[in-house]
Amino acid sequence: MTSLRMPEIMRYITVILLITCLLFSCNNVTERMPHFAVHGIDVSHYQARIDWDTIAVQSIDFAFVKATEGEEMQDSLFAFNWSDIKRVGLKRGAYHFFRPRTSVLKQAQNFMASVELEEGDLPPVLDVEVADGASEKLIVKSVRMWLEIIENHYRIRPIIYTNLNFYEKYIHKNFPHHPIWIARYNTQKPYLGKNRDWQFWQYGNRGELRGIDGFVDFNVFRGSLLELDAMCLSSNPFYSATDQ
**First and final C-alpha spacing in the chain:** 71
User: Among the options 51, 84, 121, 129, which is catalytic?
Assistant: 129
The residue type found at 95 is Y
CB-count burial class (<10 Å; 0-12, 13-18, 19+) for 121: buried
CB-count burial class (<10 Å; 0-12, 13-18, 19+) for 34: exposed
C-alpha 12/C-alpha 17 separation (Å) is 9
Q: Give the three-state DSSP class for 46.
A: helix
User: Among the options 42, 61, 84, 121, which is catalytic?
Assistant: 42
* Active-site residue flag, 42: yes
Q: Give the three-state DSSP class for 162.
A: strand
* Active-site residue flag, 151: no
C-alpha 225/C-alpha 229 separation (Å) is 6
- 3-class SS shares of the chain: helix, strand, coil, % to 5: 35, 20, 45
Identify which of 88, 78, 91, 87 has the alpha carbon closest to the alpha carbon of residue 55: 88
Catalytic residue list: 42, 129
